[in-house]
Copies of this chain bind each other. A is one copy, B any other.
Amino acid sequence: MAEEKLPSRKDDYAEWYNQLVIKSEMADYAPVRGCMVVRPYGWALWENIQQALDKRFKATGHVNAAFPLLIPKSFLEKEKEHVEGFSPELAIVTIGGGEVLEEPLIVRPTSETVIGYMYAKWIKSYRDLPILINQWGNVVRWELRTKLFLRTLEFYWQEGHTAHASSDEAQEETLRMLDVYADFAITEAAVPVIKGIKTENEKFAGAVQSTTIEAMMGDTRALQSGTSHFLGQNFAKAFNIQYLDMNNTLQYCWTTSWGLSTRFIGAIVMTHGDDQGLILPPRLAPIQLVIIPIYKNDSERSSVMEVVEKLKTELSDIRIKIDDRTEVTPGFKFNDWEMRGVPLRMEVGPKDVEKKSVALSRRDRPGREGKSFVPQSNIGETVKTMLADIQDSLLVKATTFRDDNIYDPKNYEEMKEILSNGWAYSWWCGKESCEIRVKEDTKATTRCIPLDQEEGSGTCIVCGEKAKKKVYFARSY
């Protein structure tokens, strides 16, 4: 039962992450290489993420459905860029019911193709548009280098697929969903993300334009945390998604797709975690408050537990856990729940019973600074206020860290140095050759062309030619 310490983030960030995800029982390795098991603690976090997103999807007019896991291999080949992007990553079913299949089936890596096929069947006229459907499910991509949550052969996600009568409407939808993702990330997960457009080189295979929310992890690497794609008429033409317009003329639809996955759990771990373990944002934490009863004997136990039970009823709209294990010490429990990132800890001992108080310790402020003694009366409000404050503080802290690690290098030499330990926000001419050079020299890629940048121009940080846009460069996961 002895707790083994995590490596510090400074010593070995990758090992800190891997061990923490396992140790906190968020996930485990499955028997098949590169696959994961999402354990109950991790899945409860995902369920809270799902709820927060699903509410936003429904509020913006979307409905859920389920499309098949298995897709005829020929479907993928109908969109040229799409097949080039995904072919190397496919898991292929060649045997079904004991027989070799005439046409192999791919396990979906994403569902544009099969959903396109169905939309072509369902859409007749402009009255059927827009179609605004989301799907919660699993997909498989045969990745070579895997990492729990960040990149696994199978992962869980939602994928929205919409079809519209006009290009403008589809582009609006693309940005609307990017806003939904950003609002979710910032409000619910306290992960400050930057909204932007992917370069041609980095866009989704088959998209006209890809947009992204990019987050900075605790080691300053970037993580693409959600994407929303304007697909133009690429898939509509490949799958004949057509409608009769008001003049009874057949037109191709304009489509979008957008997705956010269990990868986002990795974003939460690496945005907020410290050397003691996870720090989960209160709005998404499976357990918001852990109560640890402290006593030396049966008589103390009974008076303490009486108070704990009373507090429990007053905290009925908070997600709480009472840790009444007898085989471990309170000290062990403190470390354990700290490691698991529970935002708030309550201790109730005999003195608290006497004084009608409890001790509250904030996970985001270790030691004395985060500890306070509060009256038992009105405990629901006290806890709620403190959780809200923790949520806010996490966002401020992560935003400050991010902004402190974004630089505006003076020249290419300075940028190369910066990119070993931070982001560069620099003018870029738009040429792929400059992106490639940066990648070769530093392993960093363009993360996005942020949407909210001011008009202006400068000289490309790489080649010195005229540039109209600034772009974020960073090493990424």
Contacts and interface: CB of A to CB of B under 8 A. Distances in A.
A98 B88 CA distance: 6
B95 A92 contact: yes
A117 B31 contact: yes
B64 A32 contact: no
A43 interface: yes
Contacts of A91: 70, 93, 95-97, 105
A44 interface: yes
B64 A47 contact: yes
B89 A107 contact: no
A399 to B, nearest CB: 31
Contacts of A36: 68
Contacts of A96: 90-92, 142, 153
Contact of A71 (B32, B40, B95): B32
Contacts of A59: none
Contact of A37 (B32, B39, B118): B118
A66 interface: yes
| Chain A interface category by residue count | 35 or more
A138 B69 contact: yes
A327 interface: yes
A93 B118 CA distance: 25
A2 interface: no
B97 A88 contact: yes
B28 A121 contact: yes
A318 B100 CA distance: 50
Interface in A28-70: 28, 30-32, 35-40, 42-44, 46-47, 63-70
Contacts of A88: 97-98
A332 to B, nearest CB: 14
Given A69-B140, A91-B70, A30 B64 contact: no
A330 interface: no
A43 B65 contact: yes
B92 A140 contact: no
A72 interface: yes
A458 interface: no
Contacts of A70: 32, 35, 91, 140, 153-154
